Chain A
Amino acid sequence: MSDETVVSLENVEVHFESEGSILPFGGDSEVVQAVDGVSLDIPENDVVALVGESGCGKTTLGKTAIGTQRPTGGAVKYKGQDVWKANDGEGDVEIPFEEIRQSLQIIHQDPGASLNPNKTVQHSLEAPLKLRHGEMDTFERRERIHEMLSRVGMEPPEDYAKRFPHQLSGGEQQRVALIRALLMNPDLILADEAVSALDVSLRIDMMDLMLDLQDTFDTSFLFISHNLSNASYIAGKADGRIGIMYLGELVEIGPIDEVLNDPQHPYTKALMWATPNLNPKADDGGSSPLRKIDVPDPRNPPTGCKFHTRCPEAREACTGEMPDATDLGNGHEVACYRADDGHDYWSSPELADEGDELTGTADESTAD
């Protein structure tokens, strides 16, 4: 881990306006705050894992970090250069947008959809080489492609290079997608649920491969997952950080082992409760610690701390304003009033529940 920051997100906001759907509910234009003020630094040659449930904004944040999604507020900077100012040609552009674009890549979740079905592996992998290394000729490109295919365990490479995606297994397709991203020599790769669609027994292999190649190519990974076990494996092995997101906010972030061993945010604790483990003797934590099973409608999020409607520790002070991040030292931050011993929270009354516990949200229908 070095000190140089590859991508830094400064108070990023991404708001979507839904222009009224065909369906008769919802009414007119509504704003969904997919990402609501998140700051995050991604260092060189590092792994940052982002975990959260659907609707928490992790994918949107990931796409913002690689310059594919334009934020509606805040800034995204690549090595100090504001990405969108470079795109618009505003101000002093030190790093041109084309260069930025090539340095930020992606691996998608569904391996079957991430490769052009009409192109052979060879053809698909030539594209990044042509873009990034225009000086290479056909033979040099072939050699490089074969080298990479061998490196990821697809032997004999000449044979694999000529195949179409449908002739590869899911694990092989994902490895080709990984090679494609790496051949761009990127500084940051967004791995958007990159192992979630693979068989369980293949996941460790894929994550090990990603870490192995990370060193060679000097790339960072922003690893998005709804699965805490996967995220903890890859972040752990790379000695990286994990960030927990809820409804567009980053509620906790820190070095992986610290967050897992000493989770501060009640939502993080809930995620750990929900993550199944293999040890039958472990205390399975009993029933749900949450006051409500269903996630609130992102178009109408709760006031103050967005988690307060489901938080087992919620008190009245939580309904006022969203808590700022408290620095717990060692890179561990949490956005919760409980981290501050002197806060009003401790003298505030507990929240009474409306009606029965664990009722589904009565007002709006939610769309996942």
Chain B
Amino acid sequence: MSLLNDPKLTAFALGELSGPEAKEIEMQVNKSEKLQKEVEEIKKTALFFSEGLSQEKTPEIDSNISDLLQKEGEKKFSLRKWFKLPMIKFGLPVAFAVSFILINLKNMETPTTRLDNLTDGVFGKQDQKGSAPAYRKRQANSPSANYDMALKKESTSKVASGRIAPHRSKAKMKMAMKRNFQQKPMILAQEEVMPSARFIPSTPPTEFNTESYDFVKNNDFIKVLDSPLSTFSIDVDTASYSNMRRFIGNGTLPIKDSVRVEEFINYFSYNYKAPPTDRPFSTNLEVASSPWHRGYKLVRVGLKGKIFDSATRPSSNIVFLLDVSGSMSGHKKLPLLTEAIKSMIRKLGEKDTISIVVYAGASGLVLPPTKASNKLEIIKALNNLKAGGSTNGGAGIELAYKTARENFVEGGINRVILATDGDFNVGTTSRGSLVRLIQDKAKSNIFLSVLGLGMGNYKDSTLEELADKGNGNYAYLDTLNEAKKVLGDGLNGTLITIAKDVKIQVEFNPTKVQAYRLVGYANRKLEDRDFNDDTKDAGEIGAGHTVTAFYEIVPTNVKMDLPSVDKLKYQKTSKKVESSFTDELLTLKVRYKEPTGSKSKLLSVALKDSDTKFEKASDDFRFATAVASYAMILRDNPHIGDMTLKEVIDIGKSAKGADNFGHRIEFLELAGLAREIKQKSNK
């Protein structure tokens, strides 16, 4: 049977098939050159039309709620606050005054029609839900008022997620990408890039989803007798969590390999005690029973970095390296980014210098080093940014580091902030060479922050590696709220590195622990010998950051079957342990370097065993456990036992604590949504 004129082949080419059906067709296609060509043609046609159609303009939507909201932010939600708007505030008294005068004038036989017009003009918006609207304009407005009423319901002070001037068709294009064709959206800014007709796409799509994630494996239990030490590098990145939020928001579960448990846990800040003055961070250990396996225990390792306020924050030299290539034009990319930078600029001042390097096909310095107090100048430069062109990341990185070096502040903050969707497609494009370039630059004591944006062609794996090798942190900005978390409230944490190459090594006491499993940090594991090797790179910790890791441990009195190696012939396998430490579960050792130092320092603290029940553990402990469980469920990690998302939500609810930023509530919502998606897909 030929597939040549079969709707199935079209469905296959459009990425509509999955499972065995897709496999079967793929097999047939692989066998036949003719079919391959056909698939290629269908994809080409599809790409051509979807690109072309994405350029259709969307109608201006005036006089409705969303525009009002965009202008004024969330305060519009509350009708009470609505009255506080200058227009209404002044409008009302003026209107009353005018009506009063007019009514009096009317009594003196003034034409009444003018009164109607005037009151309509002034009351137009606020009168909507009153008597039947008499004017067309009001009619158009009335549904908006209803939105407002419906949305109003609860007035809160929390800032809404960002309202940004939308590029609506582009936004939709992005939705489109998620849903089917995940081709490179370089064409979005094509007015600037390629003004001429461009009827045939220059690059045929080679794959549908160009998002890339590295395979991340799950850690297994390890016998203490085989390997008493566990060593890993800390990780304060949070990108994986915001990326998950994006997936869930779009109604799908995240791709398994995009879920990194440690980044989920570290997305939240925990109330660990502040460090003593002579140390950059505090250590916080806690143990309780494990909710995943009966009889097992869970140990939490928590670090908290020193806190700075704006007065004690050292001077800074910040170079933004912004990707303005065509693929950055979606409304959740460049516009969101510029908004976020603006909010950051507001937090900076006289002692801070900002430069902006952009890169697309070529790279350039669009804002020479400028004092952050000169806000107008910076905002002007930001407003002039336009997306267009292909991405030459390599050249931009060179220029950014050069600029940072020329303005180096001794003893201050020197940082390059790279913002991109990571789709480097011109110049130094191979991941390896980009990483080497960054690694080389990192030696100059200039730190790197990587901000990931957008979707569809988002290169998570490249960006995470760049941040790791560039002595830096990595965040994914999916909403303005998130952008403000990273560049606003969390700015000091993003900017100030208080310790670098932070490594954690845990030594387990074999009299108490027979096996352990590190939860997450799978791609952060280090060789035990790397712990004392100062040339080995590891994670950084920023001001006020908390870093949390969990070990699930199997006490010696619990029966457990683990595959083991055969008895050794020449070594003694059963080791007798000193009895003086029998009440200790483990010893935590932390190695770190001062931000500009090259010799590491060592902290060491032991954890005494305790029989605390999970339910009695601290809120932070239980909440972090809920988050870890959630991530493990998303990863289909078998070590979760039979815990369900419902239990995750219950634990999270009971451990929410003060939740000053609303992040924990949001987590519960997301977990609820994930549960619904899971249930639906199981049906």
Is chain B found bound to chain A in the same assembly? Answer: no
Instruction: Please list the residues of chain A having a beta carbon within 8 angstroms of any beta carbon in chain B.
Output: none
